[in-house]
Amino acid sequence: MTTTDAFIDALPKVELHVHLVGSASVATVLELSRRHPGSGVPTSEEELRRFYTFRDFPHFAQVYRAVNQLVREPEDVATLVLGLARDLAPQGARYAELQVTPYAHHVVGMPMREVTEALDLAARRSLAEHGVEMAYIFDIPGEFGEEAAKITIDHALQEPPAALVGFGIGGIEQERVKYRDAYRSAFSAARTAGLHSVPHGGEMSGPETIWEVIEGYGAERIGHGINCLADPRLVAHLRDTQLPLDVCPTSNVCTGQIARIEDHPLPRLLEEGLFVTLNSDDPPMFATTLADEYRVAANVFGFGKAELAHLAKNGVQASYLAGNRKEALLREIDDLMNAISV
């Protein structure tokens, strides 16, 4: 009989919620911090792991920005993408939608065209060298206002990478209300250009933020969304529309949104009939992987192989993969389930 660990390793997966800088392995961050001394990011592994112990979400955002300042050249961008593909391949991941923050590269002086060329090169090499297909989501850092919105949408419309599929927003949710019109306008322009709307919402604030991304941003998929359970009307809406929620359990504990992994609402979200995908968010920063998130679902919440396969299929169905690629991956998952049942 196939063990659960072996099943998880073999299960074809997609990663729909992972950030470029947050995907950087410890080894990559150490290489960059030693290359750029004086950045404030530790240059020893022990210190870096302590640096990655977060008090709360604002502290996490502060650390994330510090690491982001190490990414100063287009070559650094390509290195991060390839590093993620290398890390995902042995986990059974076939496809990832990687969240890139153009504003962060703009403020350190990288030209749009050079960033796009690096992303295009990295996407080609990720598939050729690691068998992982990369797509990109451009996201606005929500606490930086109108300038960040303008830089992000300008890059998306004027110099998009070939694999750009979506437009999002992250950062500290409580700050967004100050810039509501700018963010709504940016999302409207992105949707008009054919990009999918995939904002964060309901991670560190309540249902009102989820309603805002649905009604104001035209959300087609929502990053996190875990606080929807506080609003029965919202839960009913999410159930009726099957609007996907990209859930990242370990992340929510590490940033202080959930006290203990055992308290995470993932099981209840599924019990309520909501459409949930499973993701890693910023895996090295949270000492996790995509496969580890499936292990959390199995070991903490008691999910069996059928439930794990259901989550994997949800990820494929919620992705922006081409239709024939979706069908092929769904068949792979079914074939795996059939193989273990005989």
Catalytic residues: 203
Rg (CA), the chain: 19
Q: CB under 8 Å to 68, separation ≥6 — which residues? A: 21, 101, 104
At 141 the three-state DSSP class reads strand
User: Which SS3 state, helix, strand or coil, does residue 100 take?
Assistant: strand
Q: Sheet of 222-224: strands edge to edge?
A: 200-201, 222-224, 245-247, 276-278
Three-state secondary-structure class, residue 111: coil
Q: How many CA atoms lie within 13 A of 118 on its CB side?
A: 22
Instruction: Kindly state the tokens that stand for 5.
Output: 């660990």
Please name the helix (run of DSSP H) or strand (run of DSSP E) that holds residue 16, with its range, or none.
strand 13-19
Query: Residue 335: CB partners within 8 Å, gap ≥ 6?
Result: none
Using CB atoms within 10 Å of the CB of residue 321, give its burial: 0 to 12 exposed, 13 to 18 middle, 19+ buried.
buried
